[in-house]
Structure 1
Amino acid sequence: MKVDLWTILPQEIWINILGRLPAKSVFRCKFVCKSWGDMIEGVDFSESYIPKPCLCLAFGHEDTGYEVYDETCKPLFRFQLAQPAFTHKHSCVVIDSVDGLLFVWDMSRNYELIPCIVNPMTREYIRLSHLPIHRFIYGFGVSKLSGQYKILLGDRWKPRHVYTLGPEVLLRSIREEVKTCRLDGNGDAKFLNGNLHWLADYPDLVCCFDLETELLTTFSHPPRVHHGYRGRIYGGYGLFILEDLLCLCDISDDLHVVIWRMNNYGDANSWIKEYIFDQQPYISETGRPNILNYVLPLKVLENGDLLFTVNTDKRLFIYTKDADAVETYGLLQRSTFCSFSNIIIYRPTFRSLKSMGILNVGSSSFY
């Protein structure tokens, strides 16, 4: 007699079983039958499923699209957004990831930038071609109390617009009381604790934009260690999030890498030096990283070692504190059209864009 386990075991047991699988296996389980597909895309499973974080890498190639790696640098899966007609070139740029949703720039049709929100695990994405495109400040996050997902857009001088994801097009101009806070460099805003953060060079501060109140505050960052023209060219000064803490990387004139960590969020007196190491410009025989510009820390490993990459280099590196040494960890692809690292830590989820009431959701190809 054939036994149908689906009807015998309650749904919470199946959720517990499937929740122990890797993200790619869960994705395949969606297509076993309609019952499994509905369960995996349901609220109970999507909110309880907590897979391991991954490295999400985008690179510019019209036939490849986006690629997701596991922590051992082995590719998990690829996905690609449907391209508009008359596509000339295709570039994929990952900006940030929040709750398993990716904020990306999809560049196509004569290099036109199109911001998109993507969930590769549900194969859902939405193009936000109606948004005003600014060249500098842009970020993605979720407000702390209302739980609204928002995108911040701006130019070199200040944030200009906030877009709220939802059933309606909610695009608002930033309130007049937001003062000029010119962006230092060409970067994006980093999300942490319900706020988006970026570095300003006038005044010389860390800007903090609250996604709930849509108000801007500032606090001080550590003193810079590079000075003058050579420091600006061969050094780098970048803000990032590492293990849910606000961090800052600075490179001195003589190529000392200094990584600061803010121990108490918002307290400018709590910056401490977490990592300090020396490197020289790239020499192919030694395999040393080229840190002539920006270092992007990605993850602190269980033993305290630092996983990082640098712009324009296709490798991942590990800095070992005990040995005070840098070694190559793995080789990844790079975006042809981007000079920055274009890589983030991504944690897959089955949160559905359609369940958020978002309209005009497209379906990406997954392979």
Structure 2
Amino acid sequence: MPGTRGPAALDDLPEEITDDILLRLPPKAVGRCRAVCRSWRDATSTPGFALEHRRRQPPLPVINALYAGAGLVLLPASAGAARASDKPLWPFPPGTKPRHQPILGNTCHGFIIVSKKSQFYICNPATHRRVLLPQPLYGAGFKNTILGLYRHRSTGEYRVLILNSMDRSAELSWYFDDSLYVLTVGSDEPRHIAVRTQPMSPPSMEQNLLNSLGTSPPAHHRGNLHWSPYGAGESTGGHGDIIVFDTEAESFWWMHGPAPAKLSDHKKFLDMEGKLAYVLWEGRSPMCFAAMDVWAMQDYEAETWSFRYPIDVSTVEASRQLCTTPIPCEKNKKTPLDSKVRWFNDMAMVNDRELLIRFNNKHVLRCDTDGEFLGLVAIGYRQYRMHLTPHRLQESIIPIPSH
């Protein structure tokens, strides 16, 4: 009929509505939209769009299934989903042997740092881009450890905190102290920084602090990096058992964890929906735990914590629905799944209400914070030989700074 308008096109919508629609797309779809028309390419290519798009992505836990032949995968955040994505976390393609895989080191804002053959790369899995990172004092006798990847708030630069040390068995190792370097991603040379602490402490204590940092990856919170390594209270002279690296001032300070942390040898940090969470383990033996207590940071400035919930084997056993459904094995035989939870090995957060728990050194289950069983994590047909990593990744279209 005359005067009847055809279907509305996306270009007919106001610019703010179009931008909101584009921001809701996954990274791969944004890349496809850039090839549709120039206006969409321009709208999705600004730094502001990339940062806002990354902010809207959920932080997904990374599962290590290298020994199951599936590589590293991201677990979806949809409620109740027990199957992991079949999309490998590039550059970890499935099917290659674990000894040929690069090692995942750190994550931040959609970037990951991997090490392969003593070289470090910063990668963006969503865009399949990577850049080789220069290293300080790289060569025989020297060892570089990536301590953290962070975004410097004032400049917007992505920076890498690197610990440089000398092999303790080397002939001149007594002559060299461990040193700290910061590398701005996109630059040629790492710069040496002093190990400044607040309050001031003697040089020997600062060296002890450096020695304790490389034992575990840090937790990101409020833009800062947090560690709670074994014996941290002794390293800090009683000032606290959490080591904090202020990424703006590029100096260290100490924070107190919950009181029971001083009595526990086994602990780790988790990100709990924007809050810093502290997990304390009660073990039957090393790496075999019967129970876990989860604490959350209540007031960052006051360094106060609140107890959230306990998790123990008996709670999960009482509410679980694990069964002995046969699963296929490599020789096409049916093998019953050993589903009895005897001990925990590790834990990770999916979101504020859902947990991933590795048990019996074999399987990963998904449950809520009340212990209700939500399903076994499966990658393809595999339900075994999976490990939880301490890393979470927000997929991002932010380009890697480089020259």
Q: Specify if TM > 0.5.
A: yes
In structure 2, C-alpha distance between the alignment counterparts of 1:82 and 1:286, rounded to whole Å: 29
In structure 2, C-alpha distance between the alignment counterparts of 1:38 and 1:62, rounded to whole Å: 42
- SS of 2:344's equivalent in the other structure is coil
Residues 267/202 of structure 1: CA separation in 2 closer, same or farther (3 Å cut) = same
- SS of 1:78's equivalent in the other structure is coil
Residues 94/263 of structure 1: CA separation in 2 closer, same or farther (3 Å cut) = farther
Kindly provide the amino acid, as one letter, of the partner of residue 348 in structure 2. Answer: P
Percentage of pairs with the same residue: 18
In structure 1, C-alpha distance between the alignment counterparts of 2:225 and 2:378, rounded to whole Å: 30
Do structure 1's residue 279 and structure 2's residue 313 form an aligned pair? Answer: yes
Q: 1:208 aligns with which of 220, 223, 244?
A: 244
Alignment of 1:77-96 (within 5 A): 77-81=87-91, 89-96=99-106
Q: Is the 8 A contact 1:41 1:350 kept in 2?
A: no
CA drift of 1:192 comes to 1.4
Residues 218/51 of structure 1: CA separation in 2 closer, same or farther (3 Å cut) = closer
Gap runs ≥5 in structure 1: 360-367
Q: 1:300 aligns with which of 324, 328, 351?
A: 351
The two structures, once aligned, show a CA RMSD in angstroms of 4.1
Do structure 1's residue 193 and structure 2's residue 222 form an aligned pair? Answer: yes
Residues 315/135 of structure 1: CA separation in 2 closer, same or farther (3 Å cut) = farther
**Structure 1 equivalent of residue 23 of structure 2:** 19
CA drift of 1:170 comes to 4.1
Q: 2:341 aligns with which of 276, 288, 303?
A: 288
Residues 98/11 of structure 1: CA separation in 2 closer, same or farther (3 Å cut) = same
- SS of 1:146's equivalent in the other structure is coil
In structure 2, C-alpha distance between the alignment counterparts of 1:287 and 1:32, rounded to whole Å: 52
**Structure 1 equivalent of residue 184 of structure 2:** 164
Q: 1:315 aligns with which of 364, 373, 382?
A: 364
Do structure 1's residue 260 and structure 2's residue 290 form an aligned pair? Answer: no
Kindly provide the amino acid, as one letter, of the partner of residue 94 in structure 1. Answer: L
Residues 148/313 of structure 1: CA separation in 2 closer, same or farther (3 Å cut) = farther
After superposition, give the CA deviation of every residue in 1:69-93 in whole Å (9 maximum; x if it has no partner): 422344263353499xxx9943244
Kindly provide the amino acid, as one letter, of the partner of residue 195 in structure 1. Answer: N
In structure 2, C-alpha distance between the alignment counterparts of 1:75 and 1:29, rounded to whole Å: 23
More helix by share: 2
Higher deviation after alignment, 90-99 or 242-251: 90-99
Gap runs ≥5 in structure 2: 1-5, 166-176, 198-205, 235-240, 285-289, 323-336
Of structures 1 and 2, the larger Rg is shown by 2
CA drift of 1:5 comes to 5.0
Residues 3/256 of structure 1: CA separation in 2 closer, same or farther (3 Å cut) = closer
After superposition, give the CA deviation of every residue in 1:104-125 in whole Å (9 maximum; x if it has no partner): 3243xxxx24332222233322
In structure 1, C-alpha distance between the alignment counterparts of 2:123 and 2:38, rounded to whole Å: 23
In structure 2, C-alpha distance between the alignment counterparts of 1:78 and 1:28, rounded to whole Å: 20
TM-score under structure 2 normalisation? Answer: 0.66
TM-score under structure 1 normalisation? Answer: 0.72
- SS of 1:75's equivalent in the other structure is coil
Residues matched between the structures, number: 329
**Structure 1 equivalent of residue 194 of structure 2:** 175
**Structure 1 equivalent of residue 271 of structure 2:** 241
In structure 1, C-alpha distance between the alignment counterparts of 2:125 and 2:249, rounded to whole Å: 30
- SS of 1:25's equivalent in the other structure is helix
Q: Is the 8 A contact 1:137 1:153 kept in 2?
A: yes
